[in-house]
Structure 1
Amino acid sequence: MPNPIILASASPRRSELLIQLRVAHEILAADIDETVRPGEAPELFVERMAREKALAVLERLGPGDRRPVLGADTALELDGEVLGKPRDEAHFLAMFARLSGREHRVLSAVALVDRERREARLDVSHVTFRPIDEAEAVRYWASGEPADKAGGYAIQGLAAQFVERLAGSYSGVMGLPLFETAQLLNEFGVETL
């Protein structure tokens, strides 16, 4: 069976989550500017990123390729600010000091586009970290896990030990909210069971 969709992401986690839904897919990563615009609300930012990633890949396809393209984006929001990937250890430690002992929001958007339609959904989860001392944060950075993660952590990895409470979607915090993704895929005629 040919791949029914294209995933506009190189994230192995997103691919694994699509496999969990039993959705065959081809990976074609999008390369777009992921800068937050001045005054852009975090919710609008992640929705725009998911849509732009999907559209960028759709534009690369030949005109006869009718497969829908799935784009996704995940960002952490704390005090109204989007926390991206850490630039270096110092940036990571500053972010983790802010997250320690506090609740933050994880915004995960998914967009599905084809030649006729463009649809998107947003998932918002609330994650509370227990207090994390600097020595723990340094050890976590040294593990290599935080370097390429939004907000500097992977809930499915070592950082699970920091999560005191999660209200929302575990898969959304991982980077692809499966409830919203399955809804979109089904609307586009892609079976998920």
Structure 2
Amino acid sequence: METANNHELATFAGGCFWCMVKPFDEYPGIEKIVSGYTGGKTENPTYEEVCSGQTGHTEAVQITFNPAVFSYERLLEIFWVQIDPTDAGGQFFDRGVSYRPVIFYHNEKQKQLAEKSKIALNESNRFSRPIMVSIEPAQTFYPAEEYHQDFYRKNPERYNSYQTGSGRADFIQKYWGDKHGKI
């Protein structure tokens, strides 16, 4: 989907949305990152409703980017490095539908690029289990409550503790080493 000024949207779910903002932040061409909820049936859900698992929503980040400066392919590379792509049931110690990994595509080109990157990662044999990330059409995106936005900046100690305590940091280090966003 194109927005004003030839910017596009990209939407990724990779478990707790707190951990999905920082990896994309501060690159030239990334205009905005919003934490929120998508893929469910409830309008304007709250964090508590989404966490209950009753709304069908998934925690996600929606990124506004300039594809002339920062490509969708590069966004996909960063996404894959932030998650356990073999776990469809959640991410790290966050379990259930609200934490499942998903690439929500906004147009046919994004869908094709997402599918191509998923196949490439699967064929790389980096993981001993198959890649289980869902690729689905983007749906209505609801921004999360303000206290969830830019959480890593507002609460760096809690963010770092969560990143480490959840097992995400060790997983990224084990499978990607110092690449952290580079496949």
Q: With structure 2 as the length reference, what TM-score do the two structures score?
A: 0.30
Question: Which entry has the higher C-alpha Rg, 1 or 2?
Answer: 1
- Flag the structure with more relative contact order, 1 or 2, with Cα contacts below 8 A and sequence separation at least 6: 2
Q: With structure 1 as the length reference, what TM-score do the two structures score?
A: 0.29
